[in-house]
Amino acid sequence: IQLTQSPSSLSPSVGDRVTITCRASQGISSFLAWYQQKPGKAPKLLIYAASTLQSGVPSRFRGSGSGTDFTLTISSLQPEDVATYYCQQLNSYPITFGQGTRLEIK
């Protein structure tokens, strides 16, 4: 199952609402997770089961979608949100990740 993220990169301003999309090549129900990876660090889980916020993750992060189309939304961008974001599916093996969306601050 291929996951295609869009856009590949974006440069919003602090306080902006940010939306990242992940499209699956076939239906995966709600079997999608989102990760944040800061430079030189390991990925960090943000959201699983498409919309469940991991404990300790700020509420400005929200996941939605099912089937083939999914969205990660940051309601009000903060400077510490600069990172690359990945989606991941485990509807079936092999486990796959999207190619990543690089988020910078304008």
Partner 1 sequence: EVQLVETGGGLIQPGGSLRLSCAVSGFTVNSNYMSWVRQAPGRGLEWVSVIYSGGSTYYADSVKGRFSISRDNSKNTVDLQMNSLRAEDTAMYYCARLNCYPGSCQGGWFDPWGQGTLVTVSS
Residues of the shown chain interacting with partner 1 in the complex, contacts defined by CB under 8 A: 29-31, 33, 35, 37, 41-45, 48-49, 54, 86, 88, 90-100
Q: How far is the CB of 14 from partner 1 (least distance, A)?
A: 26
CA 6 to chain CA centroid, nearest Å: 10
16 versus 23: smaller Cβ distance to partner 1: 23
Q: Is 93 helix (H, G, I), strand (E, B) or coil?
A: coil
Q: How far is the CB of 93 from partner 1 (least distance, A)?
A: 5
Q: Nearest CA to 91 among 22, 37, 19, 18?
A: 22
Q: How far is the CB of 49 from partner 1 (least distance, A)?
A: 6
Residues β-bridged to residue 3 = 24
Which structure tokens are listed for 3?
């996951």
16 versus 31: smaller Cβ distance to partner 1: 31
Residue 80 φ then ψ, to 5°: -75, 0
Q: How far is the CB of 68 from partner 1 (least distance, A)?
A: 15
